[in-house]
Amino acid sequence: MRTELNPLFSPFSCKTLQVPNRFVMSPMTRQFSPGGIPGENVADYYARRAASDVGLIVTEGIGVDHPSAIGEGSMGEKDIPVLHGDAALQGWRNVVDRVHKGGGRIVPQLWHMGAVRKDASPPHPEARSLHPGNMDEDDIADVVAAFARSAANAKDVGFDGIALHGAHGYLLDSFMWEQMNNRDDDWGGDVARRTRFPVKVVEAVREAVGPDMPIIFRISQWKLQDYDAQLADTPEGLGVIVKALAEAGVDIFDVSTRVFSRPAFADSDMGLAGWIRRLSGRPTMTVGGIGFDKELAASFTQQTTVLDNLDEVVRRFEAGEFDLVAIGRALLMDPQWVVKAKEGEAFKPFDISAYARLE
């Protein structure tokens, strides 16, 4: 037993969400849902993690109920699940039931790819890809309503909360990012107006699911279009964004970084999750580089080895930087990772072939 990790095995609660420990499975695109429908293999995949002490699972990105929400992206995505239509909803009911039977909790990550989606790509090749520069008021209203419909479906299916993908250069993030949003109307310009679209989405989701269901919002500095991008150059600019989102109804921020321990701003050792926790007054989830010596993008092209950096995770957790610890690649490659961390057992090595399997 690794007693030094005991703080990470304390319970956490937020509104109706109660989890037994601080470990979260981070959302990872898996491309195993033909026709947008998650099958028994997807249920098995999540159930294995739930039965192996993963306190909370955030699903792979799920396309919201809008024609241009998903399609082929920069990594050739296909077979992305959706959260509308009888077959898909029944598939997700099975996933949720299996996770709950394993003692876990699960939330769906609702996703609109925005400009990252290639035009004319399935499942709706007739739909144009959306970005801040080509959306009129009707487009904005349609997307807001799509997030709300999908959130309501998630509640009906039995999910334990809602996660919104507002990071990595996808649609919600693209509105907040100055380099992408060149509008000069109510949806662009200064940082407050650039944040207005994701705020409206959060407000609509909150109305759809009620006051007690927790909303998690993924946020990042880096973008798929630019790994060195900055959503905010200063804590003050970041504060405008996260305070507005918190007031709109965000309960937890899922703070996606390339390396969780990397300082977010000059003259401070604190990571981005710590800054967002301080600025928003909301709990945060850290993710990025836990378990391996290379960050995500580098691990696709460089030799990657196991790195046990949980002592640093605990140090920053106890310093109050974050409340939850999300694990991506390590849990993809080893469903037993949390159990092994607790027992002090050796972790499985990095295995890039895991991206092509669902196990």
Query: Which residues belong to the active site?
Result: 170
Write phi, then psi, for 329 (nearest 5 degrees). -55, -40
From CA 82, how far away is CA 110, in angstroms rounded?
9
* Cβ atoms of 29 and 77 closer than 8 Å: yes
Half-sphere exposure of 228 (CA within 13 A, CB side): 0
Strands, E assignment, 282-358: 284-287, 324-327
Strands, E assignment, the chain: 12-14, 17-19, 23-25, 56-63, 105-111, 162-165, 215-220, 252-256, 284-287, 324-327
Coil, strand or helix at 46: helix
- Amino acid at position 288, single letter: G
Q: DSSP labels for 76-126?
A: ---S--BS-SHHHHHHHHHHHHHHHHTT-EEEEEEE--GGGSPTT-TT-TT
